[in-house]
Amino acid sequence: MDANSIATIILLGGFFLMVFLRFPIAYAVGLASAACLAFLGKPLVEVCRLMVKGISSFSLMAVPFFITMGVLMGSGGISDKLIALANSCVGWMRGGLAQVNIVASYFFGGISGSASADTASLGSILIPMMVDEGYDADFSTAVTITSSCEGLLVPPSHNMVIYATTAGGISVGSLFLAGYLPGALLALTLMIGSYVISIKRHYPKGEKFSIIRFLKQLKTSIWALAAVVIVVIGVVAGFFTATESAAIAVIYSLFVSVFVYKGLNWKGVWKALDECVNTLSIVLILIATSAVFGYCLTYLHIPDIAANAITSLTSNRIILILLLNLILLVLGCIMDMAPIILIATPILLPIAKTCGIDPIQFGIMVVLNCGIGLLTPPVGAVLFIGSAVGKTPLEKVVKATLPFYGCMIIALLLVSFIPDISLIIPKIIGGYVPAV
């Protein structure tokens, strides 16, 4: 066995062993990388250099800004406005509050970009409301956590920025545009599943649709929704970069939260910023250590080896795409979202390209797969948050979520096998189609 093979075993074996032993992912990635470099005779100062290089990226500066924007807007009293807007749109349907939950998540996701924030913010309002109206607690929680994954696809999403940076040469603006239709498709499949269950369980309807009420609620919510418009149009039109747009979005969200909706005072602002620092520290250390891990992968030619190994199993494009999704789904069960994007993208993107999958389409596939992973044990962060917010035992939530898993898998397969679901809007508006 040559030195590179032993180094590969140290890198990957050490990483999975530490994950199994419940090490924090950032430490597992960093320690496995350091051990690999030490075996190869590289000076350990190289680890520090690569970590600094990993976070010294102008594009990645958008990540803390988008996280800050999400926390400020999520804490700024906009949840009620978005719920009211969603209620005016779909509250009249059978199981109206469940439909409101799904649509509100689409609106809120475009502001927070976080499934956890969506579940905590909207769930704390809608789950008790649904239970009071006669909905089962487990069903209410299941709807909340599955619909929260829409926010990962609807821009602005800091996870998309991480993917674009990791993949290299990907337009953040085109990736943002690519998320709208898949996010809407996911919402539609969840709405259909929820409607079927609501009919079966005889859940109540809401008030009849009123265009006047809808326009009134839209007028109230327009300040919140405008944040998304500013970011996306600014990036796509080329007025400013993703990082600059994120900085402008922070200023705008601060203004709206404090002076328009008045959901935050200055004391609340400092508390929100403190929460941002906690979240950001986790994300940045993951990015830094993953940069070292990525260097080791490249040095040992692991992406090429993995690509050859998988493509040697079959040349069938359909099976290869299914294998890619399966790998990402399995990783989602044991790892959080950011490390999956950072670690798996360099390995799996070359394979996706051999299948004829556009890098932007693959980015949407990665994000959606990771979103499903947030709902699956043992590392389902959103699953645990939903269980806590809904005050419902975890096993009941998992059981109630099973039909919605099916809805999400259908959306995933459609996104995987129909490229235009992801690419049609970037082609029309963005004018950008990357080379495969």
pLDDT digits (tens, 9 = 90+) for 333-343: 777 787 888 88
The answer to whether position 17 is within a domain reads: yes
Please enumerate in sequence order all residues whose Cβ is within 8 A of that of 54, keeping only pairs 6 or more positions apart, or say none: 287, 288, 289, 290, 291, 292, 294
Tokens 């100062």 identify what position? 45
Please tell me whether residues 136 and 36 are part of one structural domain.
no
Please tell me whether residues 208 and 287 are part of one structural domain.
yes
Radius of gyration of the chain (CA): 22
How many whole angstroms separate alpha carbon 166 and alpha carbon 303?
14
Q: Are 228 and 155 in contact (CB under 8 A)?
A: yes
The answer to whether position 321 is within a domain reads: yes
Cis peptide before 204 (omega within 30 of 0): no
Q: DSSP readout, 158-210? A: HHHHHHHHHHSS--HHHHHHHTHHHHHHHHHHHHHHHHHHHHHHTPPB-PPP-
How many whole angstroms separate alpha carbon 165 and alpha carbon 30?
19
| Stronger pLDDT, 326 or 246, i.e. the higher one | 326
The dihedral of CA 192, 196, 197, 199: what is its sign? positive
The answer to whether position 47 is within a domain reads: no
Q: Domain residues for 280?
A: 58-430
Q: DSSP readout, 10-44? A: IIIIHHHHHHHTT--HHHHHHHHHHHHHHHTT--T
Q: What is the pLDDT of residue 203?
A: 86
Q: H helices then E strands: how many in the chain?
A: 23, 0
The strand pairing partners of 205, in sequence order, are 94
Q: How confident is the model at residue 278 (pLDDT cuts 50, 70, 90)?
A: confident
Nearest to 97 by CA among 140, 146, 150: 140
Which of 83-92, 113-122, 390-399 is least confident?
113-122
Mean pLDDT of 205-210: 77
The answer to whether position 50 is within a domain reads: no
The answer to whether position 52 is within a domain reads: no
Mean pLDDT of 255-263: 81
Mean pLDDT of 3-30: 85
Q: How confident is the model at residue 378 (pLDDT cuts 50, 70, 90)?
A: low
Check pLDDT > 90 for residue 192: yes
The answer to whether position 435 is within a domain reads: no
Please tell me whether residues 26 and 115 are part of one structural domain.
no
Q: What is the pLDDT of residue 421?
A: 93
Check pLDDT > 60 for residue 216: yes
Q: What are phi and psi of 94, to 5 degrees?
A: -60, 130
Check pLDDT > 60 for residue 283: yes
Q: How confident is the model at residue 436 (pLDDT cuts 50, 70, 90)?
A: very low
Q: What is the pLDDT of residue 418?
A: 92
Please tell me whether residues 141 and 287 are part of one structural domain.
yes
Please tell me whether residues 384 and 270 are part of one structural domain.
yes
The answer to whether position 436 is within a domain reads: no
In whole numbers, what is the pLDDT of the chain averaged over residues? 83
Burial degree of 136 (CB within 10 A; 0-12, 13-18, 19+)? middle
Please tell me whether residues 242 and 111 are part of one structural domain.
yes
Counting residues of the chain whose pLDDT is more than 90, the rounded percentage is: 14
Mean pLDDT of 169-193: 89
Mean pLDDT of 193-222: 84
pTM exceeds 0.75 for this model: yes
Check pLDDT > 70 for residue 158: yes
Q: What are phi and psi of 2, to 5 degrees?
A: -80, 175
Q: How confident is the model at residue 111 (pLDDT cuts 50, 70, 90)?
A: low
pLDDT in tens, 31-63: 999 999 999 888 888 888 888 887 777 667 777
Check pLDDT > 90 for residue 190: yes
The dihedral of CA 346, 177, 90, 222: what is its sign? positive
- What's the number of CA atoms in the CB half-sphere (13 Å) around residue 286? 22
Nearest to 68 by CA among 337, 252, 342: 252
How many whole angstroms separate alpha carbon 275 and alpha carbon 297?
33
Please tell me whether residues 105 and 164 are part of one structural domain.
yes
The answer to whether position 76 is within a domain reads: yes
| Stronger pLDDT, 329 or 233, i.e. the higher one | 329
Q: How confident is the model at residue 245 (pLDDT cuts 50, 70, 90)?
A: confident
Q: What is the pLDDT of residue 360?
A: 92
Mean pLDDT of 328-355: 84
Please tell me whether residues 19 and 72 are part of one structural domain.
no
Number of compact structural domains in the chain: 2
Q: Which two tokens stand for residue 284?
A: 């940045």
Q: How confident is the model at residue 110 (pLDDT cuts 50, 70, 90)?
A: low
Q: How confident is the model at residue 307 (pLDDT cuts 50, 70, 90)?
A: confident
Q: Are 54 and 290 in contact (CB under 8 A)?
A: yes
- What's the number of CA atoms in the CB half-sphere (13 Å) around residue 70? 32
Please tell me whether residues 131 and 225 are part of one structural domain.
yes
Please tell me whether residues 147 and 205 are part of one structural domain.
yes
E strand map for 64-110: none
Q: What is the pLDDT of residue 379?
A: 64
Check pLDDT > 90 for residue 185: yes
Please tell me whether residues 224 and 277 are part of one structural domain.
yes
The phi-psi region of residue 57 (left if phi > 0; otherwise alpha if psi is between -120 and 50; otherwise beta) is beta
How many whole angstroms separate alpha carbon 26 and alpha carbon 402?
30
Please tell me whether residues 141 and 216 are part of one structural domain.
yes
Cis peptide before 24 (omega within 30 of 0): no
Tokens 């975890």 identify what position? 394
Q: What is the pLDDT of residue 194?
A: 92
Mean pLDDT of 395-400: 87
